[in-house]
């Protein structure tokens, strides 16, 4: 919050300072106050039009973001934020994004999107601002698909660092995604939580004690049944009727047809998630013995 506030203040002062500078320069050059005002206004208008087209924020001035092209741009922006979550950019993180894109898109599209990603990595990504602008423009299935995609990128190598987890949790919170839904998406993936990626110095000191400190408890150690309850967003003490109701609700929200507007690529991803929810339901059914 404070970081974003500082950024907004800097940009606010900067645009006025530039306008005043243009006004003073034009006034001195032409000797006319009116000419100075006119040129300053013209400069502000040109700057606004240029930024609205080139900056990440320009995308979110649109009323409708529920289409494939805009959705991919949102993903790339937030993927860049996830990559930079620990204040550093690793090539292997770029490779993870590429690998995830290759799962959903053609080679030609992957090349284009990776080029766009590099542009996003050079920008200052204001996660608060992005999420604030899209939280009411995306429907619930699209928000969940977005979070599912970002999580898939994060754990493509089987690991999730603490900084990435915190950022994903923040994005979920800003998008008004319930905590149970966030935990449900995490439970769909197999990964290990670690404090941070190993750096050359830590590798040089690779001893068993330091490794134990680095790795947190593996999410994969959680039992299949316990994970099934998390995926279904219910407690293990829930009644059978509550289990059935929870599954019907999730099946309706996560059905691939709910993201048809995002294109076949994301429908394919939604189908995989939908199947995992169905598998979680079958696991609980078998344990409890109801039909």
Q: What is the pLDDT of residues 236-291, one digit of tens each?
A: 999 999 999 999 999 999 999 998 888 887 888 889 999 999 999 999 999 988 87
Q: Which pLDDT belongs to residue 147?
A: 94
Q: Is the pLDDT of residue 13 over 70?
A: no
Q: Residue 193 forms beta bridges with which residues? A: 160
Q: Which pLDDT belongs to residue 40?
A: 65
Correct CATH for 68-196 of 1.20.140, 1.10.3680, 1.20.120, 1.10.600: 1.10.3680
* 151 burial via Cβ count (<10 Å: 0-12, 13-18, 19+): buried
* 163 burial via Cβ count (<10 Å: 0-12, 13-18, 19+): middle
Q: Which pLDDT belongs to residue 143?
A: 93
E strand or H helix at 34: helix 33-54
Of the listed ranges 153-157, 187-191, 215-219, 277-281, the least confidently predicted one is 215-219
Alpha helices in 84-178 (DSSP H): 91-104, 107-121, 127-134, 140-154, 162-174
User: In whole angstroms, what is the distance from residue 132 CA to residue 174 CA?
Assistant: 7
- What residues does each domain of the chain span? 68-196, 224-288
Q: Is the pLDDT of residue 186 over 90?
A: yes
Q: Which pLDDT belongs to residue 56?
A: 45
Provide the whole-model pTM.
0.69
Find how far residue 234's CA is from the centre of its chain: 25
Of the listed ranges 156-165, 178-187, 207-216, 219-228, the least confidently predicted one is 207-216
Q: Which two tokens stand for residue 148?
A: 């599912």
- CATH class of the region 224-288: mainly alpha
The answer to whether 101 touches 114, Cβ cutoff 8 Å, is yes
**pLDDT (tens digit per residue) in 171-181:** 999 999 999 99
Tell the residue number behind the tokens 């092209």, with chain if given. 69
User: In whole angstroms, what is the distance from residue 239 CA to residue 96 CA?
Assistant: 40
Q: Is the pLDDT of residue 125 over 90?
A: no
Task: For the chain, give the percent of residues with pLDDT over 70.
Answer: 70
User: In whole angstroms, what is the distance from residue 205 CA to residue 82 CA?
Assistant: 27
Q: Is the pLDDT of residue 43 over 80?
A: no
- Mean pLDDT, residues 12-30 taken together: 62
Q: Is the pLDDT of residue 200 over 80?
A: no
Mean pLDDT of the chain: 77
**pLDDT (tens digit per residue) in 76-111:** 999 999 888 877 777 877 887 888 788 778 899 999
Q: Which pLDDT belongs to residue 281?
A: 95
Q: Which pLDDT belongs to residue 228?
A: 94
- Ramachandran sector of residue 67 (left: φ over 0; alpha: ψ -120 to 50; beta: rest): beta
Q: How many CA atoms lie within 13 A of 288 on its CB side?
A: 20
Q: Is the pLDDT of residue 212 over 50?
A: no
What are the residues whose beta carbons fall under 8 Å from the beta carbon of 148, sequence distance 6 or more?
185, 188, 269, 273
Higher pLDDT, 91 or 128: 128
Q: How many CA atoms lie within 13 A of 246 on its CB side?
A: 25
Find how far residue 222's CA is from the centre of its chain: 25
- Ramachandran sector of residue 70 (left: φ over 0; alpha: ψ -120 to 50; beta: rest): alpha
Of the listed ranges 62-76, 80-94, 224-238, the least confidently predicted one is 62-76
Banded model confidence at residue 226, pLDDT cuts 50, 70, 90 = very high
Higher pLDDT, 26 or 236: 236
Angle formed by the axes of helices 2-30 and 127-134, to 10°? 100
Banded model confidence at residue 36, pLDDT cuts 50, 70, 90 = low
């Amino acid at each position: 919050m404070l970081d974003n506030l500082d950024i907004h203040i800097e940009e606010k002062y900067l645009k006025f300072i530039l306008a005043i500078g243009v006004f003073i320069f034009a006034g001195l050059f032409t000797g006319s106050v009116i000419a100075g005002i006119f040129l300053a206004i013209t400069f502000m208008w040109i700057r606004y039009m240029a930024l609205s087209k080139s900056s990440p924020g320009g995308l979110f001035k649109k009323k409708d973001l529920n289409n494939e092209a805009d959705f991919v741009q949102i993903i790339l922006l937030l993927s860049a934020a996830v990559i930079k979550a620990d204040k550093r950019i690793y090539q292997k993180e770029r490779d993870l994004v590429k690998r995830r894109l290759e799962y959903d898109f053609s080679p030609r599209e992957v090349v284009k999107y990776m080029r766009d990603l590099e542009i996003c990595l050079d920008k200052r990504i204001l996660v608060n601002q992005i999420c604030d602008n899209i939280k009411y423009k995306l429907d619930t299935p699209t928000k969940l698909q977005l979070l599912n995609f970002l999580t898939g990128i994060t754990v493509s190598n089987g690991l999730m660092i603490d900084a990435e987890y915190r950022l994903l949790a923040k994005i979920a919170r800003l998008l008004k995604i319930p905590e149970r839904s966030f935990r449900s998406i995490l439970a769909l993936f197999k990964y290990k939580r670690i404090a941070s990626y190993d750096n050359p110095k830590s590798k040089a000191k690779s001893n068993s004690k330091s490794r134990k400190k680095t790795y947190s408890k593996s999410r994969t150690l959680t039992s299949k049944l316990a994970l099934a309850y998390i995926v279904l967003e219910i407690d293990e003490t829930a009644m059978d009727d509550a289990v059935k109701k929870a599954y019907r609700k999730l099946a309706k929200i996560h059905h691939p047809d709910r993201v048809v507007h995002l294109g076949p690529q994301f429908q394919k991803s939604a189908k995989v998630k939908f199947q995992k929810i169905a598998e979680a339901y079958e696991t609980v059914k078998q344990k409890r013995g109801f039909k």
